[in-house]
């Protein structure tokens, strides 16, 4: 029965597309850039942002779809090419990572001259990324920009060090051919730093730029009002990214480093209600100035003749917690202070810190929906032709009036977290077929087997494909890519229109959801135009006979409110029509 549902959904979607109706979500385009209404005639170019002419020419040759920089790229490149530290917040899909690579390629190569010997090269930029997939994406971009006609080997330009490869081979290549840009994950770079035999290979003493792409994922800071348990976990199990900063910035001064500023980076806003009330300014100053124990090395002060290290932190969710940590707790990167006006830049393209009306965490071109799969074990046992127990999520209000009542909450049923749950995969197959998706991405819980999930989807007729690091993602035809949700941050797949999150384990929290949803509606050219995209979350629901609300729906409602989203209803009319048709056949059969 399910195969018939999926086939009919695909046929109806094909008919709608043939009639020229707008079904997608990615067929319409808007002409609003991130900085406002765009005018391509007056848009900045890569040359005006500061990139050299030869690099711009190579960019247009190899990336023909990239005509002009986005406003985010233009501002970021210009800031990176100046002697200052940078913290950037911009929406997902605005080209932050690509702009970082271009700016690092535009910087001069680090050369060391020896008497009567040819100059030797050194590492100029170290880029930290949270996942192997994002590291391989940098390598793919660099390989496209630096074609084999320019150089046979990419090693002198860019190298990637991650776990999973051959450590001895990586170190041997670093020793024989130091790259201009080194991209690595925090765990692998931390291993190299801790080993006295490999630490000199990173060239920390002469490094020009240290960049953290997806800085909040690398540093893993607790929230703005953490519990005691979260504070303890942060101190007892410190992220490798912070250990790297602690080591590197204990050896090198930054442009804006200096005395800790008690309120640096804290955006002014009204305190929250209840126990999360923000301490007064006077109390915060006493806490930070009078703290006898600080587990972070203080920022080094610049002395005459010092060559400072440029520190770059960027993320779509670079919030006040990150900036406060860098400014108040460590003094490593101080923005919006009187003595760092010329040496540090805080760039925000979301409009959140400026209090702009209508500012959102996610681009408004992304549509959101949430489907709930209720448990129907008994119905499945007694009726083979039972359709999917699928419904739209009940969006719970934040609070009710004095006469209103909140619906009772019951725990969502919890299947084995290590095994792909077939009802969720069946719902995914239906949603994929109903929207007629060309390029989709399904993000599964980290404990699910990707191969088992792919096999189950292929048995349902879904063209599933597991994403392998470095493998091409421009497969012709309809395809549903598969990846664990913990590996998708920063991933860029051209022409991707739909993202599916399977269960709360894949959603995690509001920050993680923001980045997972940001895999769609990504600017792919210089027009500044975002295509429409859709994010569908699939949740475990409640028992079929229970009329109350599942706890997963309550958690998802809270998450939507935190990111300022009201989900749209997914069109289940086809499923309802087929259910009515099945009921009619059953009545006729019983009468006969």
pLDDT tens, the chain, 592 aa long: 566 656 666 666 655 544 433 333 233 222 223 333 233 334 589 999 999 999 999 999 999 888 889 999 999 999 999 999 999 999 999 999 999 999 999 999 877 766 566 667 789 999 999 999 999 999 999 999 987 777 889 999 999 999 988 899 999 999 999 999 999 999 999 999 999 999 999 999 889 999 999 999 999 998 877 777 877 787 778 899 999 999 999 999 999 988 776 555 544 444 444 444 555 666 555 544 444 345 677 777 766 657 899 999 999 999 888 998 998 888 899 887 777 888 899 999 988 876 666 667 888 889 999 999 887 653 444 333 346 778 888 776 655 444 555 555 656 656 677 788 898 999 999 999 999 999 999 999 999 999 999 999 999 999 999 998 766 677 778 999 999 999 998 888 888 999 999 999 999 999 999 999 999 998 876 566 788 999 999 998 876 555 566 788 888 999 999 888 889 999 888 777 766 676 665 545 555 5
| R_g (Cα) of the chain, nearest Å | 26
Q: Residue 521, CB half-sphere, CA atoms under 13 Å: how many?
A: 27
Residue 231: predicted pLDDT? 79
Torsion of the alpha carbons at 570, 573, 574 and 576, rounded to the nearest 10: 120
Residue 428: predicted pLDDT? 94
Closest CA to 515 of 480, 476, 487, 489: 489
Closest CA to 310 of 338, 328, 332, 336: 332
DSSP labels, 362-395: S-TTEEEEEEEEEE-HHHHHH-TT----EEE---
Residue 278: predicted pLDDT? 57
The alpha-helical segments, DSSP class H, found in 42-131 are: 46-49, 53-62, 71-80, 96-106
Q: How far apart are CA 349 and CA 371, in angstroms?
A: 31
Lookup result for tokens 């006609």: 149
DSSP run (H or E) holding 591 = helix 573-591
The residues pairing with 499 across neighbouring beta strands, listed in sequence order, are: 441, 535
Q: Residue 435, class by beta-carbon neighbours within 10 Å (0-12 exposed, 13-18 middle, 19+ buried)?
A: buried
Query: Within a 10 A sphere around the Cβ of 442, how many other Cβ atoms?
Result: 27
DSSP labels, 494-525: TT--EEEEESHHHH-SHHHHHHHHTTSS---S
Q: How far apart are CA 86 and CA 48, in angstroms?
A: 19
Residue 126: predicted pLDDT? 97
Lookup result for tokens 């124990």: 293
Residue 485: predicted pLDDT? 92
Q: Give the β-pairing of 549-550 and 409-410.
A: parallel
Closest CA to 180 of 208, 143, 205, 199: 208
Distance between first and last Cα of the chain: 22
φ, ψ at 335 (rounded to 5°): -110, 155
Residue 448, phi-psi category: left (phi > 0), alpha (psi -120 to 50), beta (remainder): beta
- Quote the tokens at residue 256: 């804006």
Closest CA to 76 of 360, 338, 310: 310
Q: How far apart are CA 526 and CA 9, in angstroms?
A: 36
Q: In order of start, what are the domains of the chain with their CATH numbers?
A: 45-109+118-268+280-348 (3.40.50.300), 365-399+407-572 (3.40.50.300)
DSSP run (H or E) holding 157 = none
- Quote the tokens at residue 563: 């990111």
For residue 43, the Cα-to-chain-centroid distance in whole angstroms is 27
């Amino acid at each position: 029965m399910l195969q018939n549902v999926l086939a009919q959904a695909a046929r109806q979607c094909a008919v709608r597309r043939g009639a020229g109706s707008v079904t997608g979500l990615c067929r319409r385009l808007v002409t609003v850039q991130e900085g406002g209404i765009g005018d391509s005639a007056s848009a900045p170019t890569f040359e005006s942002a500061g990139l050299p002419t030869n690099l711009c020419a190579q960019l247009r040759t190899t990336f023909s779809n990239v005509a002009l920089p986005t406003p985010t790229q233009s501002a970021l490149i210009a800031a990176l090419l100046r002697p200052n530290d940078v913290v950037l917040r911009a929406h997902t899909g605005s080209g932050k990572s690509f702009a970082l690579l271009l700016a690092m390629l535009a910087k001069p190569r680090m050369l060391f001259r020896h008497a009567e010997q040819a100059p030797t090269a050194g590492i100029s930029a170290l880029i930290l990324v949270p996942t192997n997939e994002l590291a391989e994406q940098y390598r793919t971009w660099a390989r496209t920009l630096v074609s084999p006609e320019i150089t046979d080997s990419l090693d002198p330009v860019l190298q990637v060090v991650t776990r999973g490869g051959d450590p001895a081979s990586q170190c041997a290549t670093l020793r024989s051919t130091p790259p201009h840009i080194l991209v690595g994950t925090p765990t692998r770079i931390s291993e190299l730093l801790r080993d006295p035999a490999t630490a000199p290979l990173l060239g920390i003493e002469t490094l020009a730029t240290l960049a953290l792409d997806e800085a909040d994922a690398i540093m893993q800071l607790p929230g703005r009002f953490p519990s005691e348990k979260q504070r303890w976990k942060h101190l007892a199990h410190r992220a490798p990214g912070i250990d790297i900063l602690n080591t590197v910035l204990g050896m090198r001064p930054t442009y804006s480093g200096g005395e800790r500023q008690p309120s640096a980076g804290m955006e002014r806003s009204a305190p929250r209600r209840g126990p999360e009330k923000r301490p007064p300014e006077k109390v915060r100053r006493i806490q930070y100035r009078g703290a006898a124990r600080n587990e972070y090395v203080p920022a080094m002060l610049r002395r005459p003749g010092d060559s400072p290290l440029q520190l770059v932190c960027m993320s779509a969710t670079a919030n006040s917690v990150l900036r406060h940590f860098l400014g108040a707790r460590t003094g490593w990167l101080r923005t919006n202070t009187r003595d760092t006006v010329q040496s540090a830049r805080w760039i925000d393209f979301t409009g959140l810190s400026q209090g702009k009306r209508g500012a959102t965490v996610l681009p408004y071109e992304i549509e959101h929906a949430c489907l709930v799969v209720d448990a129907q074990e008994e119905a499945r046992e007694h009726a083979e032709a039972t359709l999917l127990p699928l419904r739209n999520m009940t969006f719970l209000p934040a609070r009710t009036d004095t006469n209103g009542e909140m619906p009772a909450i019951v725990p969502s049923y919890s299947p084995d977290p290590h095994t792909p749950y077939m009802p969720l995969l069946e719902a995914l197959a239906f949603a994929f077929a109903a929207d007629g998706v060309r390029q989709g991405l399904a993000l599964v819980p980290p404990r699910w087997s990707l191969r088992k999930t792919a096999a189950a989807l292929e048995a349902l007729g879904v063209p599933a494909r597991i994403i392998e690091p470095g493998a091409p993602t421009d497969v012709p035809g309809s395809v549903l890519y598969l990846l664990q949700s913990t590996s998708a941050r920063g991933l860029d797949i051209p022409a991707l229109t739909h993202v599916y999150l399977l269960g709360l384990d894949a959603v995690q929290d509001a920050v993680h959801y923001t980045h997972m949803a940001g895999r769609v509606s990504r600017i792919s050219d210089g027009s500044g135009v975002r295509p429409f995209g859709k994010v569908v979350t699939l949740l475990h629901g409640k028992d079929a006979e229970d009329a109350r609300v599942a706890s997963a729906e309550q958690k998802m409602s809270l998450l939507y409110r935190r990111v300022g989203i009201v989900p749209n209803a997914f069109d289940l009319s086809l499923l309802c029509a087929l259910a009515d048709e099945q009921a009619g056949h059953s009545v006729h059969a019983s009468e006969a």
